[in-house]
Amino acid sequence: MSDLVKIGAPKKAPVPYGSSERPNNRAAFAKAVIAVTSGKGGVGKSTVAANLAVGCAQRGLNVGLLDADVYGPSMPRLLGVHTERLEWNDQDQMVPAENFGVRLVSTGLTTPDNDTPLAWRSAVATSAIIQLLDDVAWGELDILFVDMPPGTGDVQITLAQEVPLSFAVVVTTPQAVATDDVARAIRMLSDIRVPAGIVENMSFFVAPDTGAKYHPFGEGGGQRLSEAYALPLMAQLPLGPQIMRSGEQGRPIVALGEASDKSPWHDLAEQLLKQPTVQSRLADQPAQPTT
């Protein structure tokens, strides 16, 4: 385990764990906490989270992003800070990396090399998540986005117990093999009473030479989930090489893409900010700065 950043074992006396019915509020520094989740890997969840965070920052909001995918952190590359490493300030707090107006904390910024694995048991991983909430100089945030790992396991349970989630963006692709897993994540969110909306990613592909629209992963998966669980279908996002390139280059498409490429991501950010629980938190709840 890396000793570059002291992470994975709490430095302070332990605080009692919360429960999903009465969660702790380890993110009192943020007015709203929004989980971006999927239930399944490979659906572009982190790409959605990164572009949502940047899109909200472009609207003048103070935005933080916690990369809770401790075993496969991709946020540093997506936001173009993968060569940086977290540092500690004089108050013994980690200082987030920042790019495109988003403050980022990720285990990917704590290891000696980008390919250093974190061979942690789940208890250490969940302790690390709590530390990334408690021991970071986040400042005052309007929104803290949490990029969740795939599945419905320890990290998801820990976040539900330790942070009052305002909303969850559930990312799927259209095919049944994805929506089956995503349905389980939706059921978990329903059980812990977190409002949610669905984003169908890789929904279609527009051929650049003919303009014809194709659906390589099928059609209608997001809509079927929306109807089955009475959740809003917030966006159907395209599949295209420009999205892949923007991620690999650390240049979020919502910030640096062509106008036509930016448009669906800006629309998604607007849809998110219109959700009642997000609106009410941003309007009514003062953030408490980290100390």
Average pLDDT over residues 262-282: 96
What is the reported pLDDT for 246?
94
Residue spans of beta strands (DSSP E) within 121-244: 141-147, 167-172, 196-206, 213-214, 233-238
The Cα angle at residue 161 between residues 158 and 164, in degrees rounded to 5? 120
- In angstroms, the CA 99 to CA 81 distance is 7
Q: Count CB neighbours of 229 within 10 A.
A: 16
Please, what is the average pLDDT of the chain?
90
Nearest to 136 by CA among 82, 97, 78, 99: 97
Q: Give the burial class of 286: count Cβ atoms within 10 A of its Cβ; 0-12 exposed, 13-18 middle, 19 or more buried.
A: exposed
21, containing H or E segment: none
Is the per-residue pLDDT at 288 higher than 90?
no
The residue with greater pLDDT, 216 or 151, is: 216
Q: Give the burial class of 38: count Cβ atoms within 10 A of its Cβ; 0-12 exposed, 13-18 middle, 19 or more buried.
A: buried
Tell me the CATH number for domain 30-171+241-284. 3.40.50.300
Residue boundaries of the structural domains of the chain: 30-171+241-284
Residue spans of beta strands (DSSP E) within 43-140: 63-67, 87-88, 94-95, 97-99, 102-106
How many residues are present in the chain?
A: 291
Tens digits of per-residue pLDDT, 17-60?
667 778 889 999 999 999 999 988 889 999 999 999 999 999 99
What is the reported pLDDT for 23?
87
First to last CA, the chain: 27
The residue with greater pLDDT, 29 or 288, is: 29
Nearest to 243 by CA among 232, 233, 257, 229: 257
The residue with greater pLDDT, 78 or 14, is: 78
Tens digits of per-residue pLDDT, 81-119?
999 999 999 999 999 999 999 999 999 999 988 888 888
Average pLDDT over residues 149-170: 92
What is the reported pLDDT for 12?
53
Instruction: Work out the percent of the chain whose per-residue pLDDT is above 70.
Output: 91
Q: Count CB neighbours of 4 within 10 A.
A: 15
Look up residue 12 and give its two tokens: 């302070």
Tens digits of per-residue pLDDT, 209-247?
898 999 999 999 999 999 999 999 999 999 989 998 999
- In angstroms, the CA 187 to CA 193 distance is 10
Contact criterion met (CB below 8 Å) for 163 and 26? yes
Phi, psi of 234, rounded to the nearest 5 degrees: -80, -30
Which of 64-90 are b and which e, b meaning 16 or more Cβ less than 10 Å from the residue's Cβ? bbbbbbbeebbbbbbbbbbeebbeeee
- In angstroms, the CA 115 to CA 108 distance is 9
